[in-house]
A and B are shown apart, each in its own frame.
Chain A
Amino acid sequence: MTTLTPSGHAASTDNYLTFTRGIKSWMFTLDHKRIGVMYLISVLASFFVGGLFALIVRTKLLTPGEVTWIDADQYNQAFTLHGAIMVFLVIIPSIPGALGNFVLPIMLGAKDVAFPRLNLFSYYLWITGALLSVYALLAGGFDTGWTFYTPYSTSTETAGVIPVVMGVFVLGFSSIFTGLNFVVTIHKLRPPGMTWFRMPLLLWALYATALIQVLATPVLGITLLLLIIERAFGIGIFDPGMGGDPVLFQHFFWFYSHPAVYIMILPGMGIISEIIAVHSHRQIFGYRFIAFSSIAIAVFSFLVWGHHMFTSGQSPLMNVVFSFITFSVAIPSAIKVFNWLATLYKGAIALNTAMLYGLAFMFLFTIGGLTGLPLGTLNTDIHLHDTYFVVAHFHYVMMGSALIAMIGGIHHWWPKMFGVMFSEFWGRIGCTLVFVGFNVAFFTQFMLGSQGMPRRYYQYQPEFQTYHIVSTMGAYCMALGFFLTGAYLLHSLFFGKKAPANPWGGRSLEWQCTSPPPHDNFSTTPSVGNPYDFSDLRWNEAEQGYEVDPNAAPAKDTH
């Protein structure tokens, strides 16, 4: 049985959610959409746990001295768990694993990713990594900080270090296989007419991300392997007493982990390009600049790792070189922001939840980016290194930008993923709470850091208490926003209005198939055009969605 969708495509009433039933049909699915949904659930569950640890840390910091309910060792474990969970289990896999898996093949016009079985394998590698991390927690926890710096990580008595490092090693391979899948998919599965410059910008961003995942993660792999061997056998490679060098660990670690920051932020930038263009119904400004700036960021990402090590004793010449290249990253980043702003100019801006998250991203990413400059400057970095200024800076980029983009993306594609509309009213309130809470929590930390409050400290000087209380209140406000968001999204699954095929007026291919999409994505080969030409769309009151106007002039590639 088939029905006619608003855009005129015949589609089965059976969608990917109901195509087959039963737990096994999900556990062993090869459908990229189901794997994306499984990633989404897993990543959001991890986000919940990581968030709880953040609240524990912030609650402790209400008081400058010792507290009875959490001692210093437990506090060390709490911030380590928060960091490790958020970085390795949430932000890195969130957009490529969940949203990327769901939308990449549909946006491309393909049936699936190039290697569906490898895709499922990546997901189970993620699960294995997560289970190893849980085991590490049960085995005695770990208090190394998410960076696992030697010599502390090789000497700490917490027993969970080796299991969690093994977990991160496995998660790394999950990330590599996802990246590999995406690169081959984009190269080999573009249908006729889908040229590189007709690809939506999210796909360029995911492509650049995938290149980093594939090229940087192996270095993390060997680093973690050496750390495990060092900790288990004491071989001495990171121990100066035995001829090794702890700074070697830092070089290895940041050679991966700085590019990893771009693994987190680049797909977020891709999502924002979609959100800004679609919800302002405006041809994206500077398509090629945004596309190539993603590749430029990917290239730069490999050349700046030393800026994490300005105080490690590396040579002054290296410091100068790394500082200079670090400033260069501002160029492709700013290109994106200015192009988004230019896209908004004279656009028909719909201030809905997804767009609010898009605007929030632009604001927060700009602050995050600009506060990177004093950290990339050698003399100011000496003062700010290892203070709350750094904590605030990377939260603005990793959370205020990458995660906010992820949540914006969830709202943008929620009707497509689950075929239901969420409450815009509660969506806007949730976004406002998150945005206000975030700034209260983290802008305060810039001031804390610039006044000398070191990061990761259990106790602190009483003069910092006011800032800490304000910051914690911001964290609570943000938590409230997230709980609200979770609540109305869950509510929509059961009581939400049925979503039309194209609720926002998007032109990329995913808006051409039904919501939720059919098992094979498209019943007929979709027609590929300019993904940002919105001129031929018209509102269909009966469907409460957009459709292509058959009388409109054919779309042109104007970028």
Chain B
Amino acid sequence: MKLFPTLFSANARVTPFGDASARLDAGRMGMWIFLAVLALLFLSAIFGYLFVRIENAATWMQGSPPPPPAILLSSTAALLLSSWTMHCALRAAQRGDKTQGKWMLATLALALLFLVLQAFAWVQLIQLHLTNPFTTGLYAWMFYVLTGLHALHVFGGLVPLCATTARARRCEYGPNDFGGALYTAMYWHFLDGAWIVLYITLLLGSSS
């Protein structure tokens, strides 16, 4: 942090808000807008998917397998569970409870499990029928693009999740200071919702 003295020094003006609750209020609004941005990103991708899916209604699934259901159901379960553990972590953080670290750690573990399962889904899809993924059709590619886009956001979310987990492990969050945990939790629930929408779209898209 010595490299960036003005960014992290206690004397630096890192916020124009006079009190913590006003700052949290603004942070929450900023986070909602950021999530709206990400929602539009995913919705545009889904729109693109539906556009080419509808244009190729007759040939879309010709000779192609549906996405591997068992693995995707497991990864969905892992992500849903991580949303619940994140909810518990935030509640604990807001109370200043000592369990906040454990819940955050559980969320982190489930996030990693989700990514591993998604990778398995990719590998299985490639092994099953798509021997050379670089020359296969639009159907498979759109699966990779949509799930890859989501996985990248989960992967990116690991950075704030690791940071909040470290702070929660030291029990640093309390009733007057839980902004970091709140913003990470909002992001995490969004990823959960985005995945449900994506998964349903992919399921419907791969039924003939």
Question: CB within 8 Å of B: which residues of A?
Answer: 20, 24-25, 28-31, 105, 110-118, 120, 176, 180-181, 183-184, 187-189, 214-215, 217-219, 221-223, 225-226, 229, 233-237, 242-245, 248, 252, 520
Contact = CB atoms under 8 A, between A and B. Distances in A.
Nearest to B149: A225
B68 interface: no
Contacts of B137: 236, 242-243
Contact of B40 (A30, A215, A244): A215
B37 A218 contact: yes
Nearest to B40: A218
Given A113-B16, A243-B138, A248-B51, 15 more contacts: A28-B4, A105-B16, A115-B27, A117-B7, A180-B34, A184-B33, A188-B22, A215-B36, A219-B40, A222-B45, A226-B45, A237-B138, A243-B52, A245-B51, A252-B48
Interface string B28-57: 011001101110110011001001100110
10 contacts: A30-B7, A116-B13, A183-B29, A187-B26, A222-B48, A236-B138, A237-B141, A244-B138, A248-B51, A520-B13
B156 interface: no
A214 B37 contact: yes
| The 6 nearest A-B residue pairs measured at CB | A235-B141, A218-B40, A111-B16, A112-B16, A222-B44, A218-B41
Contact of B33 (A24, A105, A214, A229): A214
Given A214-B36, A219-B44, A233-B134, A184 B16 contact: no
A181 B16 CA distance: 12
A546 B40 CA distance: 48
Given A184-B30, A218-B37, A114 B52 contact: no
Interface residues of B, number: 38
B41 A242 contact: no
Contacts of A215: 36-37, 40
- Chain A contact residues, majority secondary structure: helix
Given A214-B33, A218-B44, A252-B48, A30 B141 contact: no
B6 interface: yes
- Chain B contact residues, majority secondary structure: helix
A120 B40 CA distance: 24
A28 B6 contact: yes
A234 B5 CA distance: 46
Contact of B26 (A31, A105, A114): A114
A226 B45 CA distance: 9
Interface in B156-194: none
Contacts of B5: 24, 28
Contacts of B15: 115-116
Nearest to B3: A28
B109 interface: no
A266 B24 CA distance: 30
A183 B36 CA distance: 13
A181 B27 CA distance: 10
Interface string B2-22: 001111000011111100001
A46 to B, nearest CB: 25
A486 to B, nearest CB: 30
Contact of B142 (A110, A237, A245): A237
Nearest to A181: B30
A116 B16 CA distance: 8
A118 B44 CA distance: 25
Given A30-B12, A233-B134, A234-B134, A114 B142 contact: no
A217 B36 CA distance: 11
Contact of A176 (B37, B59, B141, B145): B37
A111 B41 contact: no
A28 B9 CA distance: 11
Contacts of A221: 41, 44
B91 to A, nearest CB: 26
B55 A245 contact: yes
B25 to A, nearest CB: 7
Contact of B55 (A105, A181, A225, A243): A243
Nearest to B59: A243
Nearest to B133: A233
A487 B180 CA distance: 48
A110 B13 CA distance: 13
Given A30-B7, A184-B33, A243-B52, A229 B145 contact: yes
Nearest to A232: B134
Contacts of A243: 52, 55-56, 59, 137-138
Nearest to B134: A233
Nearest to A247: B51
Interface string B132-148: 00100110011001000
A108 B142 CA distance: 46
B4 A237 contact: no
A110 B7 CA distance: 20
A180 B33 contact: yes
Nearest to B148: A229
A248 B13 contact: no
A176 B30 CA distance: 11
B16 A114 contact: yes
Contacts of B59: 243
A491 to B, nearest CB: 31
Nearest to A113: B16
A221 B41 CA distance: 7
B53 to A, nearest CB: 9
Contacts of B141: 233, 235-237
Contact of A235 (B4, B29, B38, B138): B138
B120 to A, nearest CB: 21
Contacts of B48: 222, 226, 237, 248, 252
A128 B51 CA distance: 33
Contacts of B138: 235-237, 242-244
B16 A110 contact: yes
Contacts of B134: 233-234
A234 B4 CA distance: 42
Contacts of A112: 13, 16
